[in-house]
Amino acid sequence: MSQREVTAVIVGAGERGANAYGPRIHRPGVGRIVGLAEPDDGRRRAAAARFAVSSDACVPTWDELFARPRMADVAVVATGDTQHVEPTLLALARGYHVLLEKPMALDDDGCRRIVEAAEAAQRNVVVCHVYRHSHLFAALHRVVASGALGRVLSIQLAENVAYWHYAHSYVRGLTRRSRVPMLLQKSCHDLDLLAWIAGAPARTVTSLLRPTELTAANAPPGAPERCSDGCPHAATCPYDAVALYARLEPVLNDLARHDRLALRALAATVRRLRPVVQQAPLASIRRLAEWRRWPLTAVSDDASVAAVENALRTTRWGRCAWQVGDNDQPAAQTVDVAFANGVLASFTMHSSADRSMRRVRVDGTHGSAVGELAGLEQWLEVSDHKTGTTRRTDFPVTTDGHGGGEGPLVDELLRAVRDGTPAATSARDAWESHRIAFAAMRSAADGIAVRLDAA
């Protein structure tokens, strides 16, 4: 018997709404996108065409969308970080279930309002904590829940953010100001994983923070304001925008490091041939060299060489990373958490890793688990103290940038909507990671240990 197609509207047809979640919902026999709110004309038209949404169901803002009677089961709220609470509350008031991008809110009060509204309306609000559904963390959670490690004593987790990812998102990008703290914006995923694996609410939180290195005082002498203006340090500066966006060097370097997949030769070939293909007389051939994925999708909707070079000359993406001036996201932050069941967790986020990756270890009375998630690859090793044996699992390659978590996250919400049952994670569950982040920010600012009561 075929299942009912779940319908959805997208609020914010940007990178996440239109490129990540839209296509995962809009599948025959699974779901259909039937409406859009997006102020950018080009993005709105492109998403309408992609999902075959009629023009009268496409509006510029969420206000206009939610002023109308409910037109779908789900609202995908994928607007920017400061714009999550209001559309979510309006969507719930109209009776939508919500797929909500993280962070759910920028303060505790915003989270509380969403949780209370979701519970009062008896609607699912699934916050996009995609890593719970990644191969690595889903398997790690199963191992812990099975009791194979005995009683869990401690968790160590590191989010190693690549130097260029940091420069892209947290120095040149929209999230360069710490009024949306990087710990909340980026690492609420990790704090969520800690709380989920610990299996208890947080009780005490402490945190330390190191300010950014990317300041004008540290800029190499004589560096111009834009990397494309003939910077004398281009050959040695890791943050050179031309190398990052026009030549895609860090992306190709990362590809080359996938040892298990033997991608070194592929990366070398792309590096050699891409400049040649970019000069081809036919536009159809030149397009083969275009990279239509993040981080270039953030820089220019048009991926041609000319458009990218123009963006580097005219937009913030071409600015010298040392001289942006109004960026204050930290170079590193540590967070220690004592959970109500005694589990101790320590988390490090930092901004200067050779490649973006997460490392985790969980130690219990009877065993240890160690895992890594980087780029396309992830693995987990589980050891038994008594027998001395270690079992290693190499997980399938994933290309969603989130360890394969995006598909299962969406599927779980669609299942819950179809079945009329609560989704596996609630808004209240997601609130816990945010509470830890708010407490950590207070701890780092005031130099105190912050105690949390039950929410």
Ligand X SMILES: NC(=O)c1ccc[n+]([C@@H]2O[C@H](COP(=O)([O-])OP(=O)(O)OC[C@H]3O[C@@H](n4cnc5c(N)ncnc54)[C@H](O)[C@@H]3O)[C@@H](O)[C@H]2O)c1
Count of residues that interact with ligand X, criterion CB under 6 A? 25
**Per the structure block, which two tokens stand in for 405?**
């978590």
Residues 139-198 within binding reach of ligand X (CB under 6 A): 185
Task: Tell me: does residue 10 bind ligand X (CB under 6 A).
Answer: no
**Per the structure block, which two tokens stand in for 67?**
């002023």
Task: Tell me: does residue 78 bind ligand X (CB under 6 A).
Answer: yes
Q: How far is the CB of 62 from ligand X (least distance, A)?
A: 4
Q: Tell me whether strands 367-374 and 332-339 are parallel, antiparallel or unpaired.
A: unpaired
| 447: number of Cβ within 10 Å | 10
Q: How far is the CB of 233 from ligand X (least distance, A)?
A: 29
Question: Rounded to whole angstroms, how far apart are CA atoms 296 and 283?
Answer: 19
Among 6, 8, 9, 11, binds ligand X (CB under 6 A): 11
Nearer to ligand X, 60 or 201 (CB): 60
Nearer to ligand X, 430 or 444 (CB): 430
Residues 108-137 within binding reach of ligand X (CB under 6 A): 128, 130
Task: Tell me: does residue 88 bind ligand X (CB under 6 A).
Answer: no
Task: Tell me: does residue 98 bind ligand X (CB under 6 A).
Answer: no
Q: How far is the CB of 19 from ligand X (least distance, A)?
A: 8
Nearest CA among 447, 441, 442, 446 for reference residue 182: 441
Among 30, 81, 286, 290, binds ligand X (CB under 6 A): 81
Task: Tell me: does residue 101 bind ligand X (CB under 6 A).
Answer: yes
Read out DSSP for 92-154?
HHTT-EEEEPSPS-SSHHHHHHHHHHHHHHT--EEE--GGGGSHHHHHHHHHHHHTTT-SEEE
Nearer to ligand X, 126 or 143 (CB): 126
Residue given tokens 């709105």 in the structure block: 44
Closest residue (Cβ) to ligand X? 14
**Per the structure block, which two tokens stand in for 283?**
């536009």
Among 23, 30, 40, 93, binds ligand X (CB under 6 A): 40
Question: Rounded to whole angstroms, how far apart are CA atoms 200 and 203?
Answer: 9
CB 350 within 8 A of CB 332: yes
Nearer to ligand X, 41 or 259 (CB): 41
Question: Rounded to whole angstroms, how far apart are CA atoms 182 and 300?
Answer: 23
Nearer to ligand X, 84 or 258 (CB): 84
Question: Rounded to whole angstroms, how far apart are CA atoms 50 and 30?
Answer: 16
From the list 33-41, 205-213, 231-239, 334-342, the region that binds ligand X by CB under 6 A is: 33-41
Residues that bind ligand X (CB under 6 A): 11-17, 37-40, 43, 61-62, 78-81, 83, 101-102, 128, 130, 185, 402
